[in-house]
Each structure stands twice: as C-alpha cells, then as structure tokens.
Amino acid sequence: DAAAGEAVGAFKLRAAMTVIAAFPRAALRCPEASGALIPRSVDEPLRALSAMSFVDRKWPDRVTDDLTVIRLAVRPDRALAWMNDPEDEIVARCLDALRVLLPAPAPAWTALERYEQGTPQPTPGHTARVAEARAKATALGGITVLGAAWDGPGIAGCVSGAKREAERIAGLLGT
C-alpha cells in the first residue's frame, strides 16, 4: 500500500551505538541498580554516554555468574560522529567514560554495535502517521505493524505495543 509506505517512510531514524563490556565479577562492584541515565550536563569523557545498563542485574539469566556485563549507550551525536572510527578506539572512549563512575579493570571481552539509522526519532505528526499506517495495514487483511519506531524506543515500548496489537488481533478473531 503506497500510502502506508509513505507514512512509514516519513519515520526518522538517528545513529545508535552500544558498547558491551564484560568484567570478572570479583573485579568490579556495580551499584545496586539496573543501570543509569547520564545527563547531558556531565563533563567529558562521561558526556559521550547517554545511559548504561547492568545486564547481569536486569537479565541475570543471560549472564554467567562469574561476569558483570555493562551495556554502554553512546549519545546519538557521538554515535554519528564515531560511526567510521576503529572499534578499539570507540571501546576505549566508552571505557574511559565508564571509569569516571566506576573503577573498572580491563574487560574480559567487549562488543560494539553500530547503526547509522538505528534508533527511531519521532518528529511532529508521528502519532498521526503511526495511526494512519496501522489503519492501512489492517485494511490490507489484518496485517499489524509494531516495534520501536511505532511504539517507543526500548523494550518497554515494544512490549507495550505488542500487547496492544495482540489484544486487537484477538478481538478481530473473536477470541
């Protein structure tokens, strides 16, 4: 459907970059929290980060007992600026930022995720475009659309959207 495609095509995406670092649990003590948002008002090098998640706290079943795993989200403007930089340089910058808050040793391993167009960036009229595209998809025979670009970034937005769409589909099916 061309109109639904136009509505979806108007969604804007921004750069996204995440560094995941694993440390021996005995060598790094994290606060009793699932993570932290980093305000823009902080000084360098911490300003490079927008958030951090302690993966072993949020999702303990995804991490072995001997590791502390931290996910470091890079600010979108930095992600775009660093997109083509070597992985080891990006990881080093993020670890320098982390060490402002935690005395982190050398990690056991690291991973880098980078996406030039990875995070939805709603613009004025986004809610109306979502409603229009969803209505057109439904009219095509019950197709549904969901995800971060539709329902909000992060797992919470995606789960909320999936539940809502599942309830809508169940209502259409009469179950």
Query: What does the pLDDT look like over 54-101, one tens digit per residue?
Result: 999 888 888 888 999 999 999 999 999 999 999 999 999 999 999 999
Confirm if 41 and 89 have CB atoms less than 8 A apart. Answer: no
pLDDT at 175 over 70: no
Query: What does the pLDDT look like over 20-65, one tens digit per residue?
Result: 999 999 999 888 899 999 999 999 999 999 999 999 988 888 888 8
Burial code (b: 16+ CB inside 10 Å, e: under 16) for 95-108 equals: bebbeeeeebeebe
